[in-house]
């Protein structure tokens, strides 16, 4: 494979990876909106405009990454995300925050309302302290 073909392939692979990340974010948001209820893979696939197999692979990748997704087998099976508190407090150090910011920058911080909100909060967290704020 010559250099140009390899670059084109890398670009396609990067584009596909970006689409997968966007799709997985939407998948988690839809499962969260279901408040612990299960959603059939076929319904998720239809809503995302992909095949059931693609959604199944996305669910598998998310589970392998540690997302607490529950897979329900059988005719009325599907997937669910346990209901969680509305807000979650997590402490990140600066390198962890930077990793999240760079990940969102690749995804596109305005790809969804939740991505834009997360980027604003992360960026605010690393701003220098204002004089007189007690820090």
Question: Domain tally for the chain?
Answer: 2
> Which whole number is the average pLDDT over 121-132?
83
Same domain, 13 and 75: yes
Q: Tell me the three state secondary structure of residue 81.
A: coil
Structure-block tokens of residue 109 = 């911080």
Same domain, 72 and 89: no
pLDDT in tens, 36-57: 999 999 999 999 999 999 999 9
The model's pTM is 0.74
Domain range for residue 118?
A: 85-128
CA 40 to CA 48: how far, in whole Å?
12
pLDDT in tens, 52-106: 999 999 999 999 999 999 999 988 789 999 987 778 888 999 999 999 999 888 8
Same domain, 67 and 13: yes
Residue 134 lies in a domain: no
């Amino acid at each position: 494979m010559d250099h140009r073909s390899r670059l084109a392939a890398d670009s396609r692979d990067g584009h596909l990876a970006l689409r997968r990340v966007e799709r997985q974010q939407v998948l988690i948001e839809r499962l969260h909106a279901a408040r612990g209820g299960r959603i059939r893979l076929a319904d998720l696939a239809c809503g995302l405009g992909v095949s059931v197999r693609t959604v199944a692979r996305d669910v598998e990748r998310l589970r392998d990454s540690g997302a607490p997704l529950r897979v329900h087998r059988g005719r009325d099976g599907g997937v669910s995300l346990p209901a969680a508190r509305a807000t979650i407090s997590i402490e990140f150090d600066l390198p962890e925050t930077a990793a999240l910011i760079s990940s969102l920058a690749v995804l596109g911080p305005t790809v969804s309302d939740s991505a834009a909100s997360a980027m604003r909060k992360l960026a605010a967290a690393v701003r220098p302290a204002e004089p007189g704020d007690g820090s």
